[in-house]
Amino acid sequence: MSIKVKRSRAQPIARLLNASAGPNTREGVGLLMRQSRLIEQAQQHLRAHLPEQMREYVHVGGFHSGRLTIISNQASWVTWLRFEQPRLLGLLHQLPGFERLEGLTFKVRPVRPVKTPPKVTRTLSSQAGQTLAECASDTDDPALKRALQRLASHAKKTED
Phi and psi at 146, nearest 5°, equal: -65, -40
**Residue pLDDT, tens place only, 26-52:** 566 777 888 888 899 999 999 999 999
Is the full-model pTM beyond 0.75? Answer: no
Closest alpha carbon to 125 in 157, 150, 148: 157
**What are the contacts of 25-34 at 24+ separation with CB within 8 A?**
none
Please give the domain boundaries of the chain with CATH numbers for all domains: 38-114 (3.30.300.180), 122-160 (no CATH)
Instruction: Specify whether the backbone of 97 is left (phi greater than 0), alpha (psi in -120 to 50) or beta.
Output: left
**Residue pLDDT, tens place only, 110-142:** 877 678 888 888 888 889 999 999 999 999 999
Single-letter code of the amino acid located at 10: A
